[in-house]
Amino acid sequence: MANVTVVGAQWGDEGKGKIVDWLSERAEVVVRFQGGHNAGHTLVVGENVYKLSLLPSGIVRGTLSVIGNGVVLDPWHLRDEIAKLRGQGVTITPDNLHIAETCPLILPFHRDLDGLREDASGAGKIGTTRRGIGPAYEDKVGRRAIRVCDLAHLDALGPQIERLCAHHDALRAGFGEPPIDRERLLADLREIADVVLPYAKPVWVSLNDAKQAGKRILFEGAQGILLDVDHGTYPFVTSSNTIAGTAANGSGLGPSGAGFVLGIAKAYTTRVGSGPFPTEQDNEIGERLGTRGHEFGTVTGRKRRCGWFDSVLVRQAAAVSGISGIALTKLDVLDGFDEIRICVGYRIGDRDYDYLPPHASDQAAVEPIYETIEGWSQSTAGARSWAELPAAAIKYIRRVEELIRCPVALVSTSPERDDTILVRDPFAD
């Protein structure tokens, strides 16, 4: 039985939460390997709705859930999210939640800096969630970060805090903000340490043990490949690598552990925040897609921009992330359209492209080249087999496969976990 790595094949919000939950019933370990609490997953389990932004999706089913070293961890948000889920009846203990000892922490001044930069950027805003994700990753790369393991050695943290604060005090001064209160920071860390440390583990050991024992491991990515700091629509990206390869260095398991790479893509396209969006429909079609798809961010509540399916971008995402198969979600949102359009290429001036150029000015100038496909009037909502789908819907799925050069492994037809058509079992590969 293979491990499975789940990644978003667009700009995030593709429905990874439901698919991970659907797969986690057979997984024995679920791992978050990058990002922070800026990524929202909504799980619908029976009559219960769980909204997660930091904890791995497997936690609601009692599956061993691991937060890997590639994640940046806000310990106060962790405390609050655990409390919220416990209030919904979810059992969370050090037996079913492990956090990498080497996770960098998101601290209060990281959130401050995130907001200050966005407010000062004017029209150049990136559209961050203002949760301190980027500044925390900057400190990790700059070798200034305070990590989970440091919470067990706070008495020895003085020189590290001074180095970290010296960097941030200079940045804060540029925004007219006062220096960081060192004593308050240390007091806050002492207070939260008892919350985090019981879950701290050398997760690379437990994951390698699980691999040796033949256990099925499910790696859960955050955001989407098009927000990858290297491969996404830079600079309108997140601050980490979101591609499947990050599962290796973000967990400590190694590249051979990734297994089947399942990319999640909506049957149309959405995006939150700023940045290029070639197929965006800022019109009645976009409103219809957004209304039917309930397109509001799980974490921020922001309304998502909506548009037609962009096969060029999904093909590009599949290539750079080594996607083995696609889970196509929200097919039912397209029910009732007389015609459906798919972007099959780009045009800038008199030149055609079969990929998205890397420069922001070129991306902003892109004009989509569309192919029009017949729609369907019948409902696909709740379908669990090919026989329940209209012929035109199947034709649409097959055309998507051809254009993205990647097979469709799953089709999701509603938020309910069992409303899923299994074409190819990722865990069986």
Phi, psi of 297 (to 5 degrees): -65, 135
Instruction: Spot the catalytic one: 41, 98, 110, 231.
Output: 41
Confirm if 389 and 380 have CB atoms less than 8 A apart.
yes
Instruction: Spot the catalytic one: 13, 114, 139, 332.
Output: 13
Q: What is the DSSP letter of 237?
A: S
CA dihedral 6, 9, 10, 16 (to 10 degrees): -20
Confirm if 361 and 44 have CB atoms less than 8 A apart.
no
Cβ burial, residue 133 (10 Å; 0-12/13-18/19+): buried
Is residue 153 flagged as an active site residue? Answer: no
Dist. CA 280–CA 262, nearest whole Å: 25
Confirm if 115 and 75 have CB atoms less than 8 A apart.
no
Say how far residue 140 (Cα) sits from the centre of its chain.
Answer: 20
Confirm if 259 and 2 have CB atoms less than 8 A apart.
yes
Phi, psi of 218 (to 5 degrees): -115, 120
Dist. CA 209–CA 149, nearest whole Å: 21
According to DSSP, the residues that pair with 260 across neighbouring strands are: 4
Q: Give just the sign of the alpha carbon dihedral 92, 8, 415, 296.
A: positive
Confirm if 23 and 5 have CB atoms less than 8 A apart.
no
Tokens of 101: 């000892």
Is residue 21 flagged as an active site residue? Answer: no
Tokens of 355: 């990929």
Dist. CA 175–CA 39, nearest whole Å: 28
Dist. CA 258–CA 217, nearest whole Å: 9
Q: How many residues does the chain have?
A: 429
Dist. CA 401–CA 426, nearest whole Å: 17
Catalytic residues: 13, 41
